[in-house]
Amino acid sequence: MEMVLKTKTVSEELGVNPTTVQRWVRHFNIQCDKNEHGHYLFKQEDIEQLREIKAQLDNGLLMSDIQIQSFQTSEKSVELPTQFEEKFDRLNAAIKALEKKVEEKADAVVSYQMLQHASELEELIKKMENMEARLQDLEVALLKNNYPEEKLYVKEKPKKNWFVSLFTL
């Protein structure tokens, strides 16, 4: 039969207060047996976990940063990996589903943007064709009126007297 120790004995062995041992058991969810009075009964595996906790605290870690290893060999410790595997598989499937949705959404956005750009290009092409037609109409009208080409494109500014321009600033 395996030896079990009470909280006071374990606290003396670890050099801490019994209340501290009880707090560690609750905080780290150590699966200890209890007697008929509700007092913790510690097996050797439980004591090893508490030693690991104390060592990490002595090294300056906070309780929230402490990582404990499971030393238990009961059925519960055998079930935990399968529970974690099932949760991991579900999370992995959910992540893959989300990635697929994101890809589909990205494809839809790209398709929409391509359609927008295509319609903008068509609009620009129509405007350019309209401008070309108007330019040709202007050229024809100018040729009919016999305007010399140099007068069509160059407009000369009237020259101002430098003295007058000094006062018009």
Q: Which residues contact 2 (CB under 8 A, 6 or more apart)?
A: 43, 44
Residue that finishes a domain, picked among 73, 95, 118 = 73
- The pLDDT assigned to 139 comes to 85
Average pLDDT of the residues in 64-91: 70
Residue 163 lies in a domain: no
Distance CA 79, CA 29 (A): 16
Note the Cα 80 to chain centre separation in Å. 29
Per-residue pLDDT reduced to its tens digit, 19-30: 999 999 999 888
Query: When comparing pLDDT for 161 and 21, which is higher?
Result: 21
Percentage above 70 pLDDT, the chain:
78
Residue 10 lies in a domain: yes
CATH number at residue 23: 1.10.1660.10
User: What's the rounded mean pLDDT across residues 99-123?
Assistant: 93
Number of domains observed in the structure of the chain? 2
Examine the domain organization and report whether 54 and 103 are in the same domain. Answer: no
Average pLDDT, the chain: 83
49/81 same-domain check = no
pLDDT of residue 73: 47
Percentage helix, strand, coil, to 5, in the chain?
70, 5, 25
Q: Which domain holds residue 132?
A: 75-146
Residue with tokens 């209340």: 19
